[in-house]
Chains A and B, each alone.
Chain A
Amino acid sequence: MFERKSNIFFICLIMGVSLICLIFLDAAVSRRLDREAVRERREMVRVLTLTDLCLFTEARYTRHPSMTDLNTPFQDHPTSLEHFPTGAIMPVPPHLKTRSQW
């Protein structure tokens, strides 16, 4: 079976496809297992009236991006440059750019 290199190739190909299938299987199982944790987090957000994910805690406009305004990143001085690293990777929330809807 292993005499021909093409056989080894097809075995590796099947292994690769199985690996992708394994990813989908693991993802499906994890989603099922995490369902309760996600529900718990959503409930906590509802009860505590939270508005944002706690991902970037270094500056207030990145801690609560949905609640921020356009001035906050430049709060220290009228001509100061925004200097927090996460400020550089975070775009302006869409609702701050299209504010005139009401």
Chain B
Amino acid sequence: MNILDFTLSSLGRRKGKNLALVTVYTFVIFLLASVLFFTHSIKKEASLILQGAPEMTVQRLVAGRQDLIPNHYIDSIRRIRGVQSVAPRLWGYYYDALSGTNFTLMANPDLKDCVGEIIIGSGVSWRSGTGKGKKAIRKNDIIPFKTYDGSVLTLKVKGILSFSSQLVTTDLILVSETDFRKIFAISHDHATDLVLKVRNAKELATIAAKITQRHPDTRPILREEILRTYDAVFDWRGGMIILVLSGAIFAFIILAWDKATGLSGEEKREIGILKAIGWETSDILLMKFWEGATLSLAAFFMGTFLAYLHIFLSSAILFEPVLKGWSVIYPHFRLTPYINAYQIATLFFLTVIPYTVATIVPSWRSATVDPDSVMRM
């Protein structure tokens, strides 16, 4: 207890330096924890939400690119044993020159009898307004669409998709099949791709193989592959994550390296004096342990808490510019906090333990030499 009291007083004597150290250390832990919380939560959210995605999507490839799929493929695929249903999907991208935004346009079977009407995502309602004092689009407002031949097709907003579904629908515009074909001049015997339901999920791979046998120009994409895509996008080894992580990890290594490579003259003198007045080497090591533990625990608690606030209360505001890129529409979503003890333990063992060890090692070296020679340094 007395050693801890002495350690805290000693830290207080170098207030400015230690405060700066804790600030940098907290920031490094904040970054690491933010990345850890964000990637884990978004992967979990994606895996839960996309459980509802089609079991299999079949695309047609022409010259290596996705192309429209002829509707007669539907019948031949439907005849494969185990296929429960095959439905064509019509979807594509529409660039709105007025707002400079890319929208996802999708034909919806429920709008079959509502030609001239659309249902829009909440991001679309904010971005489609034009001119000064941009107003949000409301129900029954009109949105003009430029068709393939340059003529304008005006469609009435029938409804707006819920705000809470922004993570999947923010840029979505649902139109009737008739309007979709009118805008893009897609003939009635083609669709964008096909979605399949199968009777037994275990047969998905066999069915996919049969489809490619019958139609070698197609590419089946399974729901598991969709889920794996999001695992890969937010994997710590790739893309943005490795960039942010490597910055934080290198900052931490420099911090720990600085500690491990040696003590300042003042610190060495302090150890020498303590040894001269009768402190044991073990007491000095205990003091240095408390010093490292105090600083790293303070940084760990503050960094972790701030990261939690950043990711789950401020919707990862610092990561937003990175994720947004040049996008005009960006969903406003609040992630559900999927955190567990394993993540916190990983963070603890990656930060607190190495730093504390790095503080003890050089002190042990100084504490084992003659106090007289240490004080003379």
Contacts and interface: CB of A to CB of B under 8 A. Distances in A.
Q: Which of B51, B327, B329, B330 has the most CB of A within 10 A?
A: B327
A5 B240 contact: no
Contacts of B220: 102
Interface residues of A, number: 67
A45 interface: yes
Nearest to A62: B325
Contact of B64 (A24, A67, A69, A84): A69
B102 A45 contact: no
B359 interface: no
A16 B4 CA distance: 18
A24 B233 CA distance: 26
A11 interface: no
A30 B337 contact: yes
Interface string A56-72: 11111011111111111
Interface residues of B, number: 90
Interface of B: 1, 4-5, 8-9, 12, 45-46, 48-54, 57, 59, 61, 64-66, 87, 89, 93, 101-102, 104, 106, 108, 121, 123, 161-162, 164-172, 174, 193, 195, 205, 208-209, 211-212, 219-222, 225-226, 228-230, 232-233, 235, 238-240, 243, 294, 297-298, 300-301, 304-305, 308, 312, 322-323, 325-331, 336-339, 341, 344
Interface of A: 4-6, 8-9, 12-13, 15-17, 19-20, 23-24, 26-27, 30-31, 34, 37-38, 40-60, 62-72, 84-86, 88-95, 99, 101-102
